[in-house]
Structure 1
């Protein structure tokens, strides 16, 4: 499917113009009535319906963008396979030089823990030069001659690894154990740090450069940095390239999401937010299968990056956001995209002159509705960024909603990644746990669509947090049964996966075009604090008190459910374009200017 067709160069004759009045495609037979109706559209979203909302173009556009969720899961959720940790023990150079076998070195030099496992960071305090000269059997018989300190052990600067299961991993190549173990944890946290940084800047860069350009640059940079990771000479270079990869992956993800939200109808946004997570879930299910087959981390990393090569086609297929073009007064380009959409959806539009007139009137109207919203922050980048950030907190209503969403985002990321990384704590096989963790997300996505379509966003979000809390807190009462802990943990992931879809949807639907990408970006940045901290809660706090992580996950989910009650229902609302419309989402007040309903009059001749 091509989104730019040469046949669209000619103007559509006005006398052949047909228009669909709403999402059900009711046809207006009279061209004159159709033009009047086009002039009467009061928002871009309503005007977009002229080009059709449920045709072939939208199907191809949504599929093109959301299929990228599958390889995105590869990059975010695979660190425990790229950095798998096999058995390890101290490297004793003198004994290696003397051609002792691995088993001889382990038996002679490596102590064992109480549970019988090797003490990988220590070796016995022997004179290994003398032991090597004596030989294995003689050294065993004359321990008193080679012992420096009786029952003494010392740390070692280098380790040997058991390569039976894995030929190479990040851990084996960069020695990420013992005193360097913190660097292994950093290979995971640097992904979230990169996503945090991207979330902070995405609103600004897309406003400056447009969504299409940011998506194209992001994917090309992602592919390059992903390949360079396999060539890293040390772990520091790997972390740098991993950070860059994460920044650009998150830039593309948030920008794609807001672009889809802007070009789709309210009904489409419901099922997109539900089913859009399925490619990610499939990606999570494929990770263990791929990792089980490929046991060298460099090849595994290349396999994970390779699917992103399909994004090269975006250069020809991906359109710019018409909303952004209109805000930048690039009307001709916006009209061209609308004509492309109409062509593939088999809808007929008015002639170019009429389209330009209507598009400009929409732009004028939207600028007028911003009369009290602080337009003109200045031309400097810093003032522009501060001005956009201020838009999220312009009133008490917007501030309260933003803070509630921030908390819900934090909880969702904290619990989602906490549950995803808890397999070791509950004694589950990491391959099967990752597979079933992805599997439960698919029915979560499928069941979410009828819920948010018929029940609404608000009640669905409350219900998902309540179910998550009940499942996780219920796991505290099953004793030491790893089976029931696994079942209840996966039930919690089933619920929190739905919450992830919902927080994205609600954040996009309660903000204006100018602040929509910024709002999703800042919300996602707040969520990164949750995803960064969840591994430490599992590993550090979990070692102190095994019940503490689950208790934290459950309590935060309960609090989020209560706070979600204050959010508006956006099920039947169109995307707002002004502060007045944001504050009245879910009410019976219709779209108008910045003035109060009693003072509002038509802002242009196209309003009826």
Structure 2
């Protein structure tokens, strides 16, 4: 596989203070996500309550439950009345959204809505992230979204209307973009991308543990929300010293700006760059390389069209091949998000201590993430991914039938399931990026990501609404879905040591002269001023997935971001 000229330039820059600034900032960004993503676990939990019966009616009450009471009328008939006042248990939480806005009884579904509406906002994230980052640049998108995230995070703590809180939560989910992570990888030296891809994911696990610890010490929901909002301000000082992605600047034709960024990086890293004239020529070549790649990629024949190469008519075989990959990968993404998020939100079901549960749940993610790299390098992608799905599915399915009074076993199996699904999550990013051909990789991963966001949106209703009606059903749903995903994954091909497919035709058995010739384009522009149409080059985080994520032998690093 041909090396990218920009990757060669990053190798010349090496790794130093400049790269560390981006890596640490993107890691800190990832650290702040769990308190927002898992906000409902502690801000809108299930809270025990009793019905507060009006004093003037207490003598006439025949019976009562948590949400209503029955009185005997003057005519001697029984009449059921809903509870208008509730007494909430404050032994675990002093105040919550649940108690302040009475999110119980007929309003119980609003607890799930508080969590689910954030996930609904993330439906927009992939669309916004790709378009805005390609159109306006990575840095400005990061800056604006971080400002919005800080404002919305603080605003929730001061709002007194629940509808307004839901609107702000939706906005917060909509700006939860991966642009910061993309920028961190774009300035990373190629040989370190695998390590960076793994290490940048670990702050999520640490953030999950810190969220559980913060909630343990701060039991008032407003003060808790403020406490996790303050750290969002600390990302702005390092952002002040950061620059736009030099890769994006070069592609867009801003060569003089890119030159200044590269010279700054060389000073910080104490390395020597080629001469200015050589850099300008190199940037021209890089821009040309990107345009040629995009034309060769976007000019491919679309899925479902009849393609003939070397006298071989693939026809429906191609359609079936890519459709099978897409269907199974979509199922895998749906399953991994459903189960992963479901386990995060099930602390009150699998443990009597929701704080300890989330802390240990985050802790088991650490080996789940860090052990995947050596595992898939040794054993391939398909089998380890499928085994993790199956292991998680079996243990979580068992939880539906184990008596809750055997608390130690329930707690242990829940953590085993979380460990296994964390491994699946990390491996799936690598595996799915290698399964899709280059010409449809962005579309394939995009569709799969939508399925993942769909699962994240419905999972609060499974844990909150369905679990309240049938306590064992969420475990069975999570277990069955994970098992189905594991079995389906075994149908896919192994990708370890196999070159990434460039076109859909590459999914079929090789035939002589089946490859189309590549298009060459001469980019005529001034390296310093001319612009390249953003739609023509349309760079995204996956523009060079076959170069950024794959070694010479075809093995991928853990750097793919959906």
Classify the TM-score, shorter chain: 0.7 to 0.9
1:36-75 alignment, distance < 5 Å: 42-52=4-14, 54-75=15-36
Is structure 2 residue 520 aligned with structure 1 residue 558?
Answer: no
1:284 to 194, 197, 208: 208
Question: Do residues 446 (structure 1) and 408 (structure 2) align?
Answer: no
Q: What is the distance in 2 between the residues matched to 1:262 and 1:396? A: 34
SS in 1 for 2:122: helix
The 8 Å contact of residues 400 and 473 in structure 2, kept in 1 or not, is answered as no
**Shift of residue 313, structure 1, vs aligned partner:** 2.1
For 2:137 and 2:458, how far apart are their aligned partners in 1? 32
Task: Give distance in 2, aligned partners of 1:260 and 1:536.
Answer: 35
Alignment-derived partner of residue 177 in structure 1: 104
Which residues of structure 2 form unaligned runs of 5+? 301-317, 524-562
Shift of 1:368: 2.2
2:156 pairs with 1:242: no
Alignment match, 2:312: none
1:328-347 alignment to 2 at 5 Å? 328-347=252-271
Q: Structure 1 residues 302, 108: CA separation in 2 closer, same or farther (over 3 Å shift)?
A: farther
Q: Which residue of 1 aligns with 2:41?
A: 80
d(CA) in 2 for partners of 1:182, 1:272: 40
Corresponding residue for 1:209?
A: 136
Alignment of 1:85-484 (within 5 A): 85-92=46-53, 111=63, 119-125=65-71, 149=76, 152-163=79-90, 165-248=92-175, 250-251=176-177, 254-265=178-189, 267-374=191-298, 401-426=325-350, 428-475=352-399, 478=402, 481-484=406-409
**Structure 1 contact 273–505 (Cα < 8 Å) conserved:** no
Asked if 1 retains the 8 angstrom alpha-carbon contact of 2:343 and 2:414, the reply is yes
Deviation at 1:111, TM superposition (A): 4.2
Partner SS state of residue 123, structure 2: helix
Structure 1 position 48, deviation (Å): 2.7
In the alignment, the residues of structure 1 paired with residue 89 and residue 138 of structure 2 have an alpha-carbon distance, to the nearest angstrom, of: 47
Contact 1:202 1:517 in 2 (8 A): no
Distance in 2 (CA, whole Å) between partners of 1:420 and 1:169 is: 19
Assess if the C-alpha contact under 8 Å between 2:114 and 2:166 holds in 1: yes
2-structure distance, mates of 1:442, 1:367:
39
Could you say which structure has the larger radius of gyration?
A: 1
Classify 1:123/1:554 alpha carbon distance in 2 versus 1 (closer, same or farther; 3 Å).
closer
Residue equivalent to 1:528 = 453
Q: How many angstroms apart in 2 are the aligned matches of 1:469 and 1:270? A: 28
Q: Is the 8 A contact 1:401 1:567 kept in 2?
A: no
Q: Secondary structure at the match of 1:371?
A: helix
2:542 aligned residue: none
TM-score (norm 2): 0.77
Shift in Å at residue 189 of structure 1? 0.8
Structure 1 residues 456, 284: closer, same or farther in 2, change over 3 A?
A: same
TM-score normalised to the size of structure 1? 0.72
Check the 8 A contact 1:192/1:532 in 2, yes or no. Answer: yes
In structure 2, the CA distance between the partners of 1:68 and 1:372, relative to structure 1 (3 Å rule), is: closer
Distance 1:365 1:563, change over 3 A: farther
Q: 1:107 to 1:310 in 2, by over 3 A?
A: farther
| Per-residue deviation, 1:360 | 1.1
Residue by residue over 1:16-43, the C-alpha shift from the partner in whole angstroms, topping out at 9 and shown as x without a partner, is xxxxxxxxxxxxxxxxxxxxxxxx9654
Task: Give, in whole Å, the separation in 2 of the partners of 1:395 and 1:284.
Answer: 41
Match of 1:580 among 475, 488, 502: 502
Could you tell me how far 1:211 is from its partner in structure 2?
1.6
Report what 1:537 is aligned to: 462
Mapped partners of 2:150, 2:373: distance in 1: 33
Per-residue CA deviations over 1:151-192 (Å, capped at 9, x if unaligned) read 653113343434454332111221211222122221111111
Judge conservation of contact 2:368–2:419 (CA < 8 Å) in 1. yes
Structure 1 stretches lacking a partner, 5+ long: 1-39, 96-104, 113-118, 128-146, 377-393, 589-594
Q: 1:567 to 1:194 in 2, by over 3 A?
A: farther
Q: Distance in 2 between matches of 1:398 and 1:343?
A: 47
Alignment: residue pair count? 503
CA, structure 1 residues 318+111, in 2 after alignment: closer, same or farther (shift >3 Å)?
A: farther
